[in-house]
Chains A and B, each alone.
Chain A
Amino acid sequence: MDLNKRYTPQTWPDHPETATLEGKNKFVGFWLLLAAETVTFASLFATYLALKDKGPSGMEFSASGLFELPLVFAMTMILLTSSLTSVYAMYHMKNHNFKAMQAWLGITVLLGLAFLGLEIYEFNHYVHLGFGFTNSAFSSAFYVLVGTHGAHVVFGLSWFIALMLRNAKRGLNMYNAPKFYLAALYWHFIDVVWVFIFTVVYLMGVIG
């Protein structure tokens, strides 16, 4: 089959992401990656929980004194909304509406950038308070956990942008449909991890 074959909404398969063998392989491999990522994040969460509020004696920073909920709430809402906008993008992908898909992906990227901006502001704020990476076991565990999530956001955004630019003139075909689908899955997974970060790190941190 020619992967660059042109399709119309009428001839577009119901599940373009798994319609080719290549797509199927990517799909299975990607879920395996997500399962492995779950374990990676679990070890970072476990480290954080074990080292929460721990550090040298006389350490002035603790989770309950440091974290502020309004910023975290805004970040949560932004990321959750960006998860929905990528669902919209995939809805249009399945309808073979390339322009609408690109538009919704664009909105997703903008929301992701807003999230990233707030995270950078937050880290910068903490460092100015003196809560740097080497401040304590607690600070190292916090920055590694939340920072790894932030790195995933950066990667997800780069992935979206690369796909959007690379395929801007190609339109949707069997070659790139699985790619868009997997990038959207990755973005949802980033939101899944954030749900636990805002619950375990921030909410449980604020109540001490």
Chain B
Amino acid sequence: MAHDTHDIHRSRTEFEFIKKKRATEMRGQLTSFAMMIFLTLIAFTLVAADFSNYLIVPIILLLAAIQVVLQLYNFMHMSNKGHGMMAFFMFSGIFVAFTIVLTMVTIVWW
């Protein structure tokens, strides 16, 4: 392979620092996971509790959207540096996705 990466020479302090930083990040991921579980529980509880559909539908869609943001930005690291192009791809995809859903639910009838 012609493409070189530079070998890394870390001092002991640097290495300990990075390791610690990763462990802190991992705790953040656990918090995200707890939030996802919590959001899922709210969604299922709302449906099981039999509230009005006009109340439930927007709320559970919002909860799903929040959960997806947590997945993309935390679990899939989109919040990290160097993910600008990835965000552009995903938002383009999401834009087209919305258009398709909007089209099909408003234009298609049976």
* Residues of A participating in the B interface, judged by any CB pair closer than 8 Å: 1-3, 9-14, 18-22, 28, 31-32, 34-39, 41-43, 45-47, 49-51, 54, 69, 73, 76-77, 80, 83-84, 87-88, 91, 94-95, 137, 174, 185, 188-189, 191-192, 195-196, 198-200, 203-204, 206-208
Contact = CB atoms under 8 A, between A and B. Distances in A.
B22 A95 contact: yes
Given A10-B15, A91-B22, A207-B56, A35 B90 contact: yes
Nearest to B30: A84
A39 B96 CA distance: 6
Contacts of B7: 11
Given A14-B18, A95-B22, A191-B71, A203 B43 contact: yes
B57 A50 contact: no
B64 A199 contact: yes
Contacts of A203: 43-44, 47, 56, 60
Interface of B is mostly: helix
Contact of A34 (B40, B93, B98): B93
Q: Is the interface of A mostly helix, strand, loop or mixed?
A: helix
A186 to B, nearest CB: 10
Contact of A69 (B22, B47, B71, B103): B47
A41 B76 contact: no
A152 to B, nearest CB: 15
B5 A20 contact: yes
A39 B110 contact: no
B67 A195 contact: yes
A11 B10 CA distance: 7
A83 B75 contact: yes
B67 to A, nearest CB: 5
A188 B75 contact: yes
A20 B1 contact: yes
B110 A22 contact: no
A204 B75 contact: no
B89 A54 contact: no
Given A20-B1, A46-B105, A49-B105, A73 B44 contact: yes
B93 A36 contact: yes
13 contacts: A1-B3, A31-B90, A34-B93, A35-B92, A39-B100, A45-B101, A80-B37, A88-B26, A91-B29, A188-B71, A195-B67, A195-B71, A198-B43
A91 B18 CA distance: 12
Given A31-B85, A49-B104, A84-B33, A199 B60 contact: yes
Nearest to B107: A50
A95 B57 CA distance: 42
B69 to A, nearest CB: 10
